[in-house]
Amino acid sequence: MKELEYPFDSEYLLKKKRAVRKALLAEAGPFTEKKIAVLGGSTTHDVIAMLELFLLNQGIRPQFYESEYGRFWQDAMFPEQALDSFQPDLIYIHTSSRNIRQFPEPGDSMEQTRRLLEQEFDYYRQMWQSIEEKFGCPVIQNNFELPYFRLMGNRDASDPGGRVYFITSLNQMFYDYARSHDHFYIQDILYLSASFGLERWSDPFYWHMYKYALCVPAIPALAFNLSNIIKSMLGKNKKALAVDLDNTLWGGVVGDDGPEGLTMGPETSMGQVYGAFQSYLKALKKLGILLNVNSKNDPENALAGLNHPDCLLKPDDFIVIQANWENKDRNILEIARTLNILPESIVFVDDNPAERAIVRAHLPGVAVPEMEQVEHYIETIDRSGFFEVTSFSGDDRKRNEMYRDNVKRAGLEASFADYGEYLKSLEMKAVIRGFEPVLYDRITQLTNKSNQFNLTTKRCTQTDIVHMAEDDGFIDLYGRLTDRFGDNGVVSVVIGEQQKDALHIRLWLMSCRVLKRGMEQAMMDGVVKRCRERNIGHIYGYYYPTAKNNMVKNFYQEMGFEKVREDAEGNTLWRLSGLEQYENKNQYIEVEK
Amino acid sequence: MMTREEVLDKLNEIFRDVFDDDSIEVCDSTTSADIEGWDSLEHINLVLAVEQEFDFKFEMGQVVSMKDVGEMVDIILAEL
């Protein structure tokens, strides 16, 4: 919904929250349900109301537990029955500088301040540990915003008796904790308040009147930012950019002005603005965001512009370059098809409002930020939170390479007459093993973001994954695939639950970028092998249809299962028996012993 | 200069927006007890919407002492 995209009108949202909520529930969905406990050190009423709107807009339907006013610590340390039985999927601790129990005073020594810091930090650490033991769910914790007054003025920042110094140091201790604990995330209200304006953010009216730690007009910004962390944790980040060229990546029209007439590079101030945007995109690439071109141009002109000596992005920085005279929505679909990702994972960046309107109308899931003035391009993309990072793995770093390799594979495929010959030429090798601790993160990520090749669309938290990995009642397998073009990383996950002599497959997913490479078969062989080791006689497979997983509707049939039942919603149950006679199906992948 | 009736009309619109209820009719004597959902925490959204519509800021003292819609109209008329 446009009203909930950056830059949203906060006042409108606060005023019309009831109507907006109704509209979202009517038009959006299907939703992922999540239980979120909000433990506040101040009033959280509108924080929750706004968070709900932004989450619904991201396809997440939250159910909330709200602590009594100011009782965040007690709730975490000694949970009430209501919180216990709520079993949160996520805990958000909304605290602020208003919750700091004791500040140092002017004249206090470094040693005294150190002690105070330890005391204050311990208070929080105990609480996080208690949550870890009792709930084992991810935690999002606010850091501290700067104080709204400074007793010593500027010296407050450096003097051990200063509040600014105290808050800065305490924040550092929080960051150290975040770095050394998985599934503990900082929501940086120090940054948010600075960006909003500390003076307005900390308006004492709202504290004294309603015990809000921030001014109510800032709550939508806080909630939007929080919704971005949550959607990122659930694997709902955007994956790719489709960028226009003329007047977006550079100033001018390459077809008319020629590459030499384009505005970019260090010579002029306008050229520098485009240069700054180019280097921002290049930096996003390092995060694993896939860069693509979507431009109305002759291909040779597009390439001539990209090869301009002052252009910081070269043709090689992009995976797919769609430079033609097709409609841009068609080009986005083509980019999505080539990359094997959903169009909803793409952000379309174009200075032309008419092009943006067409894409919005034809492809409602694609993100289309309002790119208004060149000097604000970076800010618009950055503040939209499309790529909020909550985990950063080796696979993320290498993602651009992996996708480029994929496009090369597709080129190779076209040159073979026989598909089997093509698969052989890929020289594929796989590792198929039980879950290993270093991969828990990646496996969790996959269960949350795979939509198409996903038989049950079961979403798992890391706690679920660890539990199943350690419980002997489960057979869990991951598959990692390498070929002559490179390492595809972990691409498939299967989890089965053993009940007597039967295995029930609770989850089977695969990354679409390795579709039809024989990895499905190799995983199947792996499952059967482990079943034989445990004398399991039957395997039951389940398919639950969603809007996105139609491609695996007949997967179990293709794997030789027979259909046991189908209900009115299209949910199907499949069985494979006679495992003694099963013959391995994989022919093209060398599986490591 | 707006008349008392005009201010009340605008306020009525704001109440309908904030409480998402088109059947609301406010008058001078309307209090929080008369409108479903008008509790102390929702009051802030009402105050914000009024501030935005009439382009001024309430002082804390005014918000604390306001007893009914009539008093809100008095404050708005004084600020305009």
**Is residue A409's pLDDT more than 90?**
no
Q: Which of B17, B19, B60 has the CB atom closest to A209's CB atom?
A: B60
Q: In chain A, which residue's Cα lies nearest the Cα of B22?
A: A19
Q: In this predicted complex, what is the ipTM?
A: 0.85
Q: Which of A11, A18, A206 has the CB atom closest to B52's CB atom?
A: A11
Question: Does the beta-carbon distance from A206 to B44 stay under 8 Å?
Answer: yes
Judge: domain B4-79, CATH 1.10.1200.10: yes
Nearest to A218 by CA among A238, A242, A195, A184: A195
pLDDT at A426: 84
- Cα distances from A101 to residues A104, A166, B38, in angstroms, run 10, 12, 33
Contacts of A43 in chain B (CB under 8 A): 41
pLDDT at A303: 95
- Cα distances from A544 to residues A223, A296, A300, A554, in angstroms, run 33, 41, 47, 11
Element holding A481 (H helix, E strand):
strand A474-483
The CA-CA-CA angle for residues A365, A376, A285, to 5°, reads 60
Contacts of A16 in chain B (CB under 8 A): 17-18, 20
Q: Which of B17, B40, B64 has the CB atom closest to A16's CB atom?
A: B17
Q: Both tokens of residue A32?
A: 């992922």
**Whole-number Å distance between alpha carbons of A350 and A317:** 18
Q: Both tokens of residue A537?
A: 């006689």
SS3 content of chain B, % helix, strand, coil (to 5): 60, 0, 40
- Closest-CA distance, A35 to chain B, in angstroms, reads 23
Contacts of B40 in chain A (CB under 8 A): 210
Where do the structural domains in chain A lie, given as residue ranges?
A: 2-233, 240-384, 425-591
**Is residue A29's pLDDT more than 90?**
no
What's the burial of A373, exposed, middle or buried (CB within 10 Å: 0-12/13-18/19+)?
exposed
Mean pLDDT score across all residues of chain B = 92
**Whole-number Å distance between alpha carbons of A131 and A128:** 5
Question: Does the beta-carbon distance from B63 to A15 stay under 8 Å?
Answer: no
Other beta carbons within 10 angstroms of residue A78's beta carbon come to 11
User: Backbone phi, then psi, for A454, in 5-degree steps?
Assistant: -155, 110
Band of residue A411 on the pLDDT scale cut at 50, 70, 90:
confident
Question: Does the beta-carbon distance from B44 to A217 stay under 8 Å?
Answer: no
Contacts of A212 in chain B (CB under 8 A): 44
- Amino acid at position A467, single letter: H
Average pLDDT over residues A487-507: 94
Enumerate chain B positions whose Cβ falls within 8 A of a Cβ in A: 14, 17-20, 40-41, 44-45, 48-49, 52, 60, 63-64
pLDDT in tens, A147-181: 999 999 999 999 999 999 999 999 999 999 999 99
What's the burial of B61, exposed, middle or buried (CB within 10 Å: 0-12/13-18/19+)?
exposed
A395 and A490 Cβ atoms separated by less than 8 Å: yes
SS3 label, residue A11 = helix
C-alpha torsion sign, points A446, A450, A456, A459: positive
**Residue ranges for chain B with pLDDT beneath 50:** none
Residue keyed to tokens 């992996």:
A402
Question: Does the beta-carbon distance from A18 to B20 stay under 8 Å?
Answer: yes
pLDDT at A399: 78
pLDDT in tens, A417-457: 778 888 888 889 999 999 999 899 889 989 988 888 999 99
Q: What is the DSSP string of A116-165?
A: HHHHHHHHHHHHHHHHHHHT---EEEE--PPPS--TTGGGGGTSTT-HHH
**Whole-number Å distance between alpha carbons of A239 and A346:** 6
A492 and A523 Cβ atoms separated by less than 8 Å: yes
Contacts of A203 in chain B (CB under 8 A): none
Residue keyed to tokens 């291909």:
A299
Put simply, whether A191 touches B (Cβ < 8 Å) is: no
Mutation test of the interface with chain B: which of A10, A209, A211, A214, choosing the one with the most B Cβ atoms within 10 A?
A209
pLDDT in tens, A47-68: 999 999 999 999 999 999 999 9
SS3 content of chain A, % helix, strand, coil (to 5): 50, 20, 35
Element holding A286 (H helix, E strand):
helix A269-286
Q: In chain B, which residue's Cα lies nearest the Cα of A20?
A: B20
Contacts of B14 in chain A (CB under 8 A): 15
Whether omega for the bond prior to residue A160 falls within 30 degrees of 0, making it cis, is no
**Whole-number Å distance between alpha carbons of A304 and A52:** 47
Where do the structural domains in chain B lie, given as residue ranges?
A: 4-79
Q: What is the DSSP string of A289-352?
A: PEEEEEEES-HHHHHHHHTSTT-SS-GGG-SEEEEESS-HHHHHHHHHHHHT--GGGEEEE-S-
Contacts of A44 in chain B (CB under 8 A): none
Interface of A with B in 21-40 (CB under 8 A): 22
Strand partners, A240: A290, A346
**Whole-number Å distance between alpha carbons of A401 and A35:** 37
Other beta carbons within 10 angstroms of residue A474's beta carbon come to 18
**For residues A257-294, b (16+ Cβ closer than 10 Å) or e, as one string?**
eebeebbbbeeeebbebbbebbeebeebbeebbbbbbb
The CA-CA-CA angle for residues B44, B46, B50, to 5°, reads 115
Q: In chain A, which residue's Cα lies nearest the Cα of B43?
A: A210
pLDDT in tens, A217-272: 999 999 999 999 999 999 899 999 999 999 999 999 998 899 999 999 988 999 99
- The strand pair at A346-349 and A60-66 is best described as unpaired
Q: Both tokens of residue B10?
A: 């605008």
pLDDT at B49: 94
Q: Which of B40, B45, B63 has the CB atom closest to A14's CB atom?
A: B45
A489 and A513 Cβ atoms separated by less than 8 Å: no
CATH hierarchy code of domain A2-233: 3.40.50.1110
Question: Does the beta-carbon distance from A11 to B44 stay under 8 Å?
Answer: no
Q: In chain B, which residue's Cα lies nearest the Cα of A218?
A: B48
**Is residue A285's pLDDT more than 80?**
yes
What length does chain B have? 80
Q: What is the architecture of the domain spanning A425-591?
A: 3-Layer(aba) Sandwich (3.40)
Band of residue A328 on the pLDDT scale cut at 50, 70, 90:
very high
pLDDT at A468: 93
**Whole-number Å distance between alpha carbons of A351 and A315:** 20
What's the burial of A341, exposed, middle or buried (CB within 10 Å: 0-12/13-18/19+)?
buried
Q: Which of A14, A18, A19 has the CB atom closest to B48's CB atom?
A: A14
pLDDT at A401: 79
pLDDT at A73: 94
Residue A67 is given by DSSP the state P
Judge: domain A240-384, CATH 3.30.360.10: no
- The strand pair at A32-40 and A90-94 is best described as parallel
Q: In chain A, which residue's Cα lies nearest the Cα of B59?
A: A205
pLDDT at A488: 82
Nearest to A303 by CA among A283, A323, A326: A323
Contacts of B17 in chain A (CB under 8 A): 15-16, 19
Q: Do domains A2-233 and A240-384 have the same CATH topology?
A: yes
